[in-house]
Amino acid sequence: MTKPLTTAEIRESFLAFFENKGSKRLPSASLIPNDPSLLLTAAGMVPFKPIFLGVKQPEVPRATTAQKCVRTTDIDIIGSTGRHLSFFEMLGSFSFGDYFKREAIAWSWEYSTEVLGLDPDRLWATVYRDDDEAAQLWEEETPLTAERIKRFDEADNFWAAGPTGPCGPCSELFYDRGADFACDEPDCSVGCECDRYVEYWNLVFMQYNRDEHGTLTPLPNQSIDTGMGLERMAAIMQDVASNFDIDLMRQLVALAEKITNTSYTGSFDADANTDTALRIISDHARSVAFLIADGVLPSNEGRGYVLRRLLRRAVRYGRLLGVSDPFMQQMTDKVIDLMGEHYQELLAHRELIAGIVAAEEERFLQTLRTGLSYLADALAALPQGGELSGAAAFELHDTYGFPVDLTLEIAAEGGYSVDSDSFEQHMDQQKERARGSVQDVSWSSFGGTHADIVQEFGATYFEGYNTYELDAVVLAIVDQDGKRVKKLKKDQQGELILNYSPFYGEQGGQAGDTGSISAAGASNGKGAYFQVTDTRIKDGLIIHAGTVQRGSIAASESVTAAIDLKRRNLIRRNHTATHLLHWALRKVVGTHVTQAGSFVGDTRLRFDFTHFERLTAQQLAEIERLLNEKIADDLPVRAFETTYTESRELGVMALFGEKYDEYVRVLEIGNTSKELCGGTHVGRSSEIGLFKITNEESVGANMRRIEAVTSIAAYDYVTTLQEELLAVATTLKASPRDVHAKVTTLLESSKKLKAQLKEGGAAASKMDTETLLDRAVVTKTSDGSYKTVIASPENVTAGDLRQVWDSVRQAGADACILLTADCATKKTIYLAAATDAATNAGFHAGQQVQQIAAATAGRGGGKPAMAQGGADELEPARLQEILAEVRAHCMAGS
């Protein structure tokens, strides 16, 4: 059998080997884990965590995968070593309570020696300090002898996906690359940090679950999780020095060389800056392309920040190599070319990846341009090796959007430090300020009072999913100043806290209910009546804010709490429509769309989501139609409670970064949207009536907003549009359906008319020319005679005077003297011009203009054949006077 050499061949041989051992080949899971405790998928076992924990039943007892992984814990050293990558593929084999240590060990040996053909004499194994069983199995199942089976403690041979969760002792396989790769340490052996002994396969014996106190409890089943770094194995098989020299990576490095016009030497010396930069660009391009393909968009938090940081880091290293234009799209395109065949999601999202990379890079280059020059100035003002103030780093972050890790990096490169403590203080102060500015003063002062009330009575029971009016008891009253009081009198504002409430307090983007809280007899116009104008949640309490309209309300009184049902109905239609909108957006625009915020009120809804460009009219139309179809389908809307873990398995959408309780409420609309939601919704989709999008706009980088209306508001919206259309139709004397055709015809005819007018204008000026010529003055001199047009043409500017001269000359004039007011500036303008015949007979344009200039207190002059000039604005009468004088002179032949 030929040995697999390329990354693609190694990947395939691994999967096929374990398939032969009865494992099911499963596709790689997304880089976005279905697990709120993890930011990104960083190991092959991540998708199987619930199975290892016994929370989910496995569908098959054995599986094998090539899992895409992103790890950025050691981002700072990526590029400076040959082993670290932010993106890598992990070849994994898994047993879910099926085979255990013996098979895992025997098969790793079999694959290494028989499929990869690794020399058994170069292989070493390690086991966990106390794991005698594993050590013995290595001896039983393989030719390895005790001296080639090393024991290490927890740091090296105990594996866990995170601080909590499934874990267990592990056993690792090492390959000895030979003395050429060794360091100078005399005791260089397995476990040494140098490049000689490469750890290439980790066999984890999943035996325990670690809780938050660090306590280990045995897992229901003993399982196996093994992981082999594909790139590391490719480097061994291809006998190249580092991960960056393997077939796949080398092609990316080659493109980076081309883009940056540099050469890669493969050096890892501390000053090999070009090589380091090329490695960073090549590595980060893969993470960027894969993260976007899985729906991550650049942002300032969570995994969006990981993506942004990787992309920006690559761009900056490109700049260090002298590239000032955007280039990362070329790199990610290459990643797609090289890896799209195995990872189809890259091909499916080629355009999305290109669009996001281009937009983000452009934005960052802009930030860099401004930020870098600010930073350069700030550093230049420091003594050599000085410390940049926290205020300056904060200014860079806050005003220029310049990431602080970049400030730290650039400062360090120049031998400067940054006052990070002070920077953090500035950040904290800003957060404090932000908190202060968003809080509504009338609510902010209430803190302690509410906490006391909840201590005394517990949280309010919300009964309002299906009940809109109920009898309750007033537990506590808070006045306008935030103080606990016994009673609220007529016209006083304040808050009532009840034991039960049908009022939904504003949360999750849904507006709070309004309504009334009244004492017995209120319906007869007696008894107390408190109008609720807003409802909020605080410390678990439902707070009804409003004013006493009649009588007075005291603590411990029995009351009837009733919401404004009409308004609630409008709100819930909008809320259910918001879920459908989210679903439709992901369907039409792509699964990278995630909710970034929403507002659901009674008159409209607003939905903010992640996306990098304006939605096309076609996309909007498609979304609107899809929604209205689902409304017309009269789908059942079902809410049910389940555990958070279960909801994730049902594929329910949860908002990233939100903290959910163990029990969650799932809102399901037919077989379309499934989301976690505590809000109030319609019973069937048809209650929404109608859905219309009223606006789509950008609300920040990679963030868009859709505003929409439903039911009666949608009807009003459409009606208003229709009324406007009817008004236009009436004016046009057309039926509404013909308006478009009629307007098109009108526009065309208006265009024609304009053209005709232009022609008519030309004809009119021709007429003018003839009139002018009729009134021309003929001057006779001893040298001949000439005909001069002396006129004050209207509606002209200085530039037009020559044209007037051209037309009178063509019509037979020998000379002209034109004096008029510029139609635009009202200034006085004049021009004199003559043919050769006229100048030969004694006409001198320059002199004519000089005379006019003298008479108008203006300036001007020129040659005998052409002269012009100008003066300030003159009274029209004075202009005519001067013109008459000129005419008189001409007639007199002077």
- Using CB under 6 A, list all residues that contact ligand SER: 43-45, 92, 159, 202, 204, 225-227
Nearer to ligand SER, 227 or 512 (CB): 227
CB of 42 to ligand SER, least distance (A): 7
CB of 94 to ligand SER, least distance (A): 8
10 Å CB burial of residue 413 (0-12, 13-18, 19+) is exposed
Nearer to ligand SER, 225 or 814 (CB): 225
CB of 69 to ligand SER, least distance (A): 8
CB of 44 to ligand SER, least distance (A): 5
**Closest by alpha carbon to 354, among 613, 40, 593?**
613
Whether 182 and 196 have beta carbons less than 8 Å apart is answered as: yes
What secondary structure letter does DSSP report for 489? -
Nearer to ligand SER, 92 or 509 (CB): 92
Nearer to ligand SER, 45 or 623 (CB): 45
Bridge partners for 792 per DSSP? none
Nearer to ligand SER, 225 or 800 (CB): 225
Nearer to ligand SER, 112 or 850 (CB): 112
CB of 205 to ligand SER, least distance (A): 10
Nearer to ligand SER, 199 or 602 (CB): 199
What are the tokens at 19?
Answer: 């398939």
Nearer to ligand SER, 204 or 328 (CB): 204
The residues, any chain, with a CB within 8 Å of residue 144's CB and separated by 6 or more, are 120, 123, 124, 125, 138
CB of 307 to ligand SER, least distance (A): 22
What span, in angstroms and rounded, lies between the C-alpha atoms of 724 and 70? 55
What 3-state DSSP class applies to 502? Answer: coil
What span, in angstroms and rounded, lies between the C-alpha atoms of 698 and 612? 9
**Closest by alpha carbon to 236, among 269, 204, 199?**
199
10 Å CB burial of residue 305 (0-12, 13-18, 19+) is middle
Alpha carbons within 13 A on the beta-carbon side of 272: 17
The residues, any chain, with a CB within 8 Å of residue 57's CB and separated by 6 or more, are 51
Nearer to ligand SER, 202 or 848 (CB): 202
Nearer to ligand SER, 83 or 312 (CB): 83
What are the tokens at 837?
Answer: 């015949």
What secondary structure letter does DSSP report for 485? E
Range 760-769 contact pairs with CB under 8 angstroms and sequence separation of 24 or more: 765/807, 766/807, 768/793, 769/807, 769/808, 769/811
Nearer to ligand SER, 128 or 843 (CB): 128
For every residue of 318-334, DSSP letters joined together read HHHTT--S--HHHHHHH
Question: Torsion-angle region of residue 525: left (phi > 0), alpha (psi -120 to 50) or beta?
Answer: left
Sheet holding 703-710: strands in order across? 595-600, 605-610, 703-710, 691-698
CB of 111 to ligand SER, least distance (A): 14
CB of 45 to ligand SER, least distance (A): 5
**Closest by alpha carbon to 316, among 381, 244, 392, 407?**
407
Instruction: Count the neighbouring beta carbons within 10 Å of the beta carbon of residue 596.
Output: 20
CB of 140 to ligand SER, least distance (A): 22
For every residue of 649-687, DSSP letters joined together read HTT-B--TT----SEEEEEEETTS-EEE--S---SBGGG
What secondary structure letter does DSSP report for 164? S
What span, in angstroms and rounded, lies between the C-alpha atoms of 152 and 129? 5
The residues, any chain, with a CB within 8 Å of residue 685's CB and separated by 6 or more, are 576, 580, 630, 631, 633, 634, 635, 636, 637, 669, 670
Nearer to ligand SER, 205 or 468 (CB): 205
What secondary structure letter does DSSP report for 615? P
Nearer to ligand SER, 204 or 708 (CB): 204
Nearer to ligand SER, 227 or 869 (CB): 227
Strands 859-862 and 866-871: antiparallel
CB of 225 to ligand SER, least distance (A): 5
CB of 92 to ligand SER, least distance (A): 5
Residue nearest to ligand SER (CB): 227
CB of 100 to ligand SER, least distance (A): 15
CB of 18 to ligand SER, least distance (A): 13
Identify residue 621 by its one-letter amino acid code: A
Bridge partners for 820 per DSSP? 829
Nearer to ligand SER, 124 or 159 (CB): 159
CB of 232 to ligand SER, least distance (A): 11
CB of 60 to ligand SER, least distance (A): 18
Whether 388 and 397 have beta carbons less than 8 Å apart is answered as: no
Nearer to ligand SER, 171 or 673 (CB): 171
Nearer to ligand SER, 227 or 340 (CB): 227
Whether 828 and 873 have beta carbons less than 8 Å apart is answered as: yes
Identify residue 469 by its one-letter amino acid code: E
What 3-state DSSP class applies to 235? Answer: helix
The residues, any chain, with a CB within 8 Å of residue 397's CB and separated by 6 or more, are 403, 404, 407, 423, 427
DSSP H helical ranges for 546-609: 565-588
CB of 228 to ligand SER, least distance (A): 8
CB of 181 to ligand SER, least distance (A): 22
Identify residue 827 by its one-letter amino acid code: K
